[in-house]
Chains A and B, each alone.
Chain A
Amino acid sequence: MRAGSLIRVLLLALLLAAAATAVAIFIPWLPDNASREGERIDFVFWFVTAICIAIFSVVASLSVYSLIKFRAKPDDDSDGPPIHGHTGIEITWTVIPLILVISMIIVSSVALAQNDRDPSGSMRVEIFGQQFEWTVAYPPPGAREDMDGFVCFNLTEGSGEVDRRCKESPNLVLPLDRPARLHLTARDVIHSFWVPEFRQKQDAVPGLETEITVTPTKIGNFPFICTELCGLGHALMRTRAIVMQESQFEAWRRRGSR
């Protein structure tokens, strides 16, 4: 490639990178983050976004330049130069993407490993999905966190009956800054827990107990949505996730508790 065309391609790449960056920054993509796990997911998101902008600007600038520069004149019937390949270039565009891919794998794995942990002192919360509503249950404060299986919902019967000692709620209420370990199951079909502001999602599967950790970092009232098609009422199977101060939460949990 001659120096002149190299400079043109580089300028074009910078221009396209700037445009893509503008799209990434000025469009409000991710909703405001409200959990510690979400911070890690956002980091991976922006890490991957940066790499993708780089790939996009290289590919797009080369193709735009090539298509403009090398278009055939109307009555030019000749062929291009018979270039069959170039081992060096082919190795380059195999190895560089490989390195980028490995970096993304590492970043993702680390974030995933951190988010998957069940931190000590986490609060056990049980979430039960059925057509078409969510039920959230909180074991009494004294209940042991390391107990196996469900303590509030009877998993084997899958009936949705809540143990009398548990606090029951149609909303997911969580205290600020305290890790909550959500244990999910479903009665009839597969449902899926999602709070966009927490970034965390997990299917609730009949007969299985799935788990996910959420550590809220922001007080507020967020949508809590079913994201797995579960039948006619799927679109309406939504409730709220409410984050409050620890003291408020404890007061709420005592209130109306049986």
Chain B
Amino acid sequence: MSTVVDEHAEPEVHAPPSPPKPRWRRLLLGPGWIRAIWMTALFFGLGFGLVTGIRALAGWDPVVFWDAIIVVAALTAAPIGFLAGLGAFDYWLAWAFGQPTKPEDHSGHGARRWTDYFRINTDHKVIGIQYVTTTIFFFLAGGMLAMLVRAELARPEADFVDPQTYNELFSVHASLMIFLFVIPAFAGLANYVLPLMIGAPDMAFPKLNALSYWLLPIAGIMMLSSFFFPGFGAGWTNYTPLSVEQPFGNVFFSMAVQWAGASSIMTALNFLVTIITMRAPGMTFWRMPLLVWANFTTSLLVVIATPFIAGSQFFVMFDKIMHTNFFDITEGGYPLGYQHIFWFYSHPAVYIMILPGFGIVSEVISTMSRKPIFGYRLMALSLVAILILGFSVWAHHMFVAGMATWLRIPMMITTLLIAVPTGIKVFSWLATTWEGKINFSTPMLWALGFVSQFVIGGLSGIFLGAVPIDIHASDTYFIVAHIHYVLLGGSLFTIFAGIYYWFPKMTGRMYNEKLGKLHFWLTFLAVNATFFPMHIIGIQGMPRRVYTYDPQFGNWNMFISISGFVLGASFLIFVYNMIVSWARGPRAPANPWRGMTLEWQVSSPPPLFNFDEIPQVVGNPYEYGVPGARHAVFNGDRHVVEAQETVRT
């Protein structure tokens, strides 16, 4: 047996302790919000000076040109100043300039006060909570926009907002939900539980982890502030030439995607290195919980695909402000090129937005059914199959776009083939519940609700995968129904399953079970009342992204809008439950669900470095019902293993 070394017992000293500085100096020059504020202003000023100086020297008119200033100073330089001010780069900069780095005293690690959540923090558990709360904020903001969209659509006439505002409402709604909610919410949940699940003290790169979180609020504020600069009204897909012809505000989307995308890529790299190098002794790949498998495959998708959307949005912005001609036909550009690059990210993004959910649901269903996950290896392999197939289906978003007609057949084949590994997962979850002892707690309700909604979304996906039907259904409300079944009934439900499941672990308190169940049932009914009728009006002939429509769809739309408002209201129960339970809920035990995976073997919330002693993994993570089975043992109960080994020999 290897000896367990606590790497954090004696921090390596990088520099002799410096004499204490005066308080005003620390406040003004030390990392934190005060420095962030003046450095944001300083970097904005630098950007402003750069643009204006060059224009003055070149003699261009006008000298103060706000379009260029906004792109350079507000959307690029100021966020860098903000991050530098908060202290995201302090360690690296000191190291790069050959100055003594601050000794690692773990003062930037863990949360002792609530203010510790509002600074650069290198503890993956704090970052996980930062992620989840921030993404829920943007979820509520995006939800408000959806309420406004439904208010406009309640009646056929244009009677609530003007067309440009309407186009911006649904564009920003989709962008927030995708880039600031679903993708980072999964990253946040995994940030919290993944290191715990593999028995690691933290992520592999804690400082990078902190930086990737702080990019998110920047991206979110940029997307929301696009309302003050009209122009992001081309849908979240931002197709050219429409996006290039939009007013200037379109660059807010182009730049926000860069910040959010950089955050995704950094987190994914961090997950990959963490999973590959920081598993506890004995944690082989085939002993990893499925959530870890799911985030491993998702991270591969993120690092490979995300540069493509970054590129596509840069091209749009360059076409717009630098007069490059990537997509301008009059100068030899090719509009469909945009769609290919865009969907080469954005289809894998669909799996980025669901595979981590598959992982969460696997954890919840196995634990709550008190049974091993059915067909563990096939479950892991089907994730890998989806990862590979996911890169070969992007053009199924373009069946009517005008690309080579023969290309539709191979894209249809790969698209429909993805139904096979996806089907394997659904069947395996059902088989896991079979003959189990099912505990219908709130996380389990969300997980099962997810399966039901995802089956409906998967079936409507088969319709859309079949080219002839897609030709009819493309760009109609059928599509809107489909994406909301897979992303709202799908991804969102798994996020709620995860939040309720790990809430006791994260906060050390129990949520209110009655309110949790009420939240589930209200949301579940409202989702179906809102989105199922959209299939019907779509097939009947209602196109998407319209603020006014044929009066024959008026009754259905009124019904959908009312259901949508109920859906929106249902989340207030969630917010209330979370806030009150976090503040005053009963203390949570270490393992309220009697789970076997490692995060349940430590206290709630876990110690600062997760494990007081490094666990030794000795078995599979879902051995429910196997007498005496253990996933991992700690030094203290080594005798258990020795006893088992004696029995075997």
Contact = CB atoms under 8 A, between A and B. Distances in A.
B1 interface: no
B474 A201 contact: yes
A10 interface: no
Nearest to B535: A29
B423 interface: yes
Interface in A214-248: 223, 225-236
B546 A234 contact: yes
B519 interface: no
Contacts of A236: 548
A231 B377 CA distance: 49
Given A56-B455, A109-B412, A112-B408, A235 B536 contact: no
Contacts of A206: 241, 329, 335
B468 A115 contact: yes
B241 A44 contact: no
A109 B163 contact: no
Interface string B93-121: 00000000000000000000000000000
B20 interface: no
Contact of A190 (B239, B466, B540): B239
Nearest to A196: B541
Interface residues of A, number: 81
B33 interface: no
B452 interface: yes
B439 A40 contact: no
Given A40-B468, A225-B541, A48 B163 contact: no
B420 A189 contact: no
A101 B376 contact: no
Tell me the interface secondary structure of chain A in the complex: mixed
B244 to A, nearest CB: 9
Interface residue tally on B, bucketed by range:
35 or more
B404 to A, nearest CB: 11
A85 B437 contact: no
Contacts of B480: none
Interface stretch (A88-96, A120-128, A141-149): A88-96
A237 to B, nearest CB: 9
Nearest to B550: A223
A19 interface: no
A199 B468 CA distance: 9
Nearest to B400: A201
Contact of A104 (B452, B462, B476, B544): B462
Interface in B240-268: 241-242, 245
B435 interface: yes
A106 to B, nearest CB: 10
B455 A201 contact: no
Contacts of B91: none
Contact of B540 (A29, A62, A192): A29
Contacts of B451: 63
Contacts of B234: 229
A189 B540 contact: no
A81 B432 CA distance: 10
Contacts of A200: 471-472
Given A76-B437, A208-B336, A93 B423 contact: yes
Given A62-B434, A76-B437, A201-B400, 17 more contacts: A55-B459, A67-B433, A70-B433, A70-B437, A83-B374, A84-B375, A90-B375, A90-B424, A94-B423, A97-B420, A101-B419, A107-B466, A109-B412, A190-B401, A227-B544, A229-B234, A233-B163
Interface of A: 27-31, 40-41, 44-45, 48-49, 51-52, 55-56, 59-60, 62-63, 66-67, 70-72, 76-86, 89-90, 93-94, 97-98, 101, 104-105, 107-109, 111-112, 115-116, 158, 188-190, 192, 194, 196, 199-203, 205-208, 210, 223, 225-236
